[in-house]
Amino acid sequence: MRRIERRSLRFRLLVWLGGVALIVVGVTWLLHGILLHDLARSFLGERLRQEAEHTLLQFRQGQLSTQLWQAESPALQVFHHLYVLELDGEITTSHPSWLETLAPYLEGEDEALDIVSSGERHLLVYRTRFEFDGRSGVLLIGEDFGQVEDGLEALHWWVGGIAGLLLILLIGLNMMAVNRALYPLSRLRRQLDELRSGTRERLQLDTPSELDGLVAQLNRLMDEHARRLQRSRESLANLSHALKTPLTAVIQVLRGSRPIDPGRREKMQRRLEDMHAQLDTELKRSRIAGPNAGQRANIRHEAEQLIEMFSNLYPGRNFRLGIDASVPVSVNVERQDFAEMLGILLDNAGKWATYEIRCRVRRDTSLSILVEDDGSGVASGDLGRLGRRGTRLDEGKPGHGLGLSILRQIVERYAGQVSFEPSPEGGLRVEIMLPLNEVG
């Protein structure tokens, strides 16, 4: 016997839809019984009222006398109804056996319609008051309502049976609709299995619009995974190629019998430092996540932390941060990527500034991160060389000229741009522009 999976979406949808269908059909059936009973009561009540008016008219015209109200009167038996007449305290009735039961109903409002029960019999009684020759009277006209109720009950149960069949049909249609609606999920699971087995590269589904975002997100994640895997392989290949030659040279020196003089030691030290820088750079590149990956950056929180850190690292510099109110709290930039980009800019500005470093984040047609300093700046002819791998315009400061190169690679991952300009303060002005459709 197949086990019912209570956590499944199919089971939950069927329970909810079946429960709603059961409630709707049940309430409709109950309302049908109530409304049908009221409709019959109103219809028969109106007929009794018209009969009472006709009877009183005949009575006033002398066509009926009080003797005719006696039981077994042929004139009144024609309608098979019950009559009770009270005129000046004198009561006559066509059914004396009901008189005791109906006596309380001779009192009360001018007009009323009630259902009177006596044993298992139900009687629908209409009461009206009238004046005749200065005398007041009350007329009750009743009709057996039990037969009508029996007929209504039989009709009501027939309707209940039909409603039950419709409920079963509705549940069956719900099962078909749920299975049909969940079919794209089954196809998605099969295609994910194919992706895992390597027989498929991307998801291709004609899915409902509600799943478009999920499929697009999965495709983006798979594309990002493929890019990172490719980048990791290229990085390992580059790193292996870059380290092979200097490592071989260092090993040959260490294996050689010649003493290591200060000149050769210095060369070895520079090679090892270059190797360290190369390793550090490749590690940073490997950490580039790109959009739609990892934790989103909280702009203000990350920027304030970096400003505080570089203020401590460069105590003689004044770092100032400005974030426009239009900038969202978080953007679709991976947290480490944002910290790496802004950290490179602040570190570079901290090295070359005389005193002031300004950092501003704003949002216009794109997200702008601008950092400028009041240092000596860069000659106009050298601005185009900034960001090229290994370019160092001034050897007076520590570094390997790889920071701005890494910055360019991160920005390109977000389809953004980096611009280098002279700052009005005399130093360098660097601005990163990230398109909002990528980071918004």
- Residue ranges per domain, the chain? 9-156, 209-288, 296-435
CA 51, 55, 60: angle at the middle one, nearest 5? 150
Please report, rounded to a whole number, the percentage of residues in the chain having pLDDT higher than 70: 88
pLDDT band at 262 (very low <50, low <70, confident <90, very high): confident
For residues 82 and 345, the model is more confident at 345
Query: For residue 76, what pLDDT band results from cuts at 50, 70 and 90?
Result: low
218 has pLDDT over 90 = no
The predicted model gives 249-265 an average pLDDT of 79
Mean pLDDT computed over 18-45:
92
Which two structure tokens, joined as six digits, stand for 117? 């029960």
Is the per-residue pLDDT at 33 higher than 80? yes
* Spatial CB neighbours of 77, under 8 Å, sequence gap ≥ 6: 94
Residue with tokens 């294996």: 255
Q: Give the class (CATH, top level) of 9-156.
A: alpha beta
In 137-261, alpha helices (H): 146-197, 209-255
Report pTM. Answer: 0.51
Per-residue model confidence (pLDDT) at position 169: 92
Return the pLDDT at 72: 55
Tokens (6 digits) for 309: 């850190």
Predicted confidence (pLDDT) per residue in 142-185, tens digit:
888 888 888 999 999 999 999 999 999 988 998 898 888 888 88
Q: Is the pLDDT of residue 409 over 60?
A: yes
Q: Where are the beta strands (DSSP E) in 56-108?
A: 82-87, 90-93
Angle, alpha carbons 275-277-279 (nearest 5°): 70
CA distances from 341 to 160, 232, 346, 369 (A): 71, 20, 9, 9
Write down the mean pLDDT value for the chain: 82
pLDDT score for 373: 92
User: Averaged over 347-352, what is the pLDDT?
Assistant: 89
Strands 428-435 and 417-422: antiparallel
Sorted by sequence, the CB contacts under 8 Å of residue 64 that are 6+ apart come out as 55, 58, 75
Predicted pLDDT at 389 = 63
Query: What average pLDDT does this structure show over 85-102?
Result: 81
Q: For 64-120, where are the E strands, in sequence order?
A: 82-87, 90-93, 111-118
**Residue 250: pLDDT over 70:** yes
Residue 401: pLDDT band with limits 50, 70, 90: low
Cα separation, 65 vs 399, in Å, equals 127
- Binned at pLDDT 50, 70 and 90, residue 73 comes out as low
At 150, is the secondary structure helix, strand, or coil? helix
Domain at 296-435, CATH homologous superfamily: Histidine kinase-like ATPase, C-terminal domain (3.30.565.10)
